[in-house]
Amino acid sequence: MKFENTGIENATVELERLNDVMKELGFVLAGQWDYERVTYDKKFELKDEVFYLRVQGYTTEGEVEGKHAIIKLLTPLLGKHYYPHGVEYGEGEKFPKVIVEQSTRLLNQLKLDLEKIK
């Protein structure tokens, strides 16, 4: 599921500041990066199901391993995890209302936090 028009798409921010904001909101960067891209995930567990809110970005200046890289954010995604296959983001997926609402609140807070650091 794509979260269109969140206000964070195409936002640019320095990587070090972005890492701080994302960590504060409970997102994990872990090892999901390369020299040009970053992926932050927020895990939700509901009953026996696992969902991930994913925020991705890519560098417009510098490299991810450098502290002063500038990251441009992409459209956030919500996916459902299927063991052992991975996460599906397709249009045919059904997402619980509570997970969609929590994701929307997090993305709204992310937008506000990014506006503060500009």
Give domain limits for the chain.
Answer: 12-117
For residues 81 and 54, what is the distance between their CA atoms, to the nearest angstrom? 12
Give me the average pLDDT of each 10-residue run along the chain (118 residues): 93 94 93 83 92 94 86 94 74 87 97 91
Q: Which CATH number fits domain 12-117: 3.30.310.100, 1.10.10.10, 3.40.309.10, 3.40.1260.10?
A: 3.30.310.100
* 80 touches 88 (CB < 8 A): yes
The Cα 67–Cα 81 span in angstroms is 31
Q: Are 70 and 10 in contact (CB under 8 A)?
A: no
Q: Where do we find the tokens 């506000």?
A: 112
pTM greater than 0.85:
yes
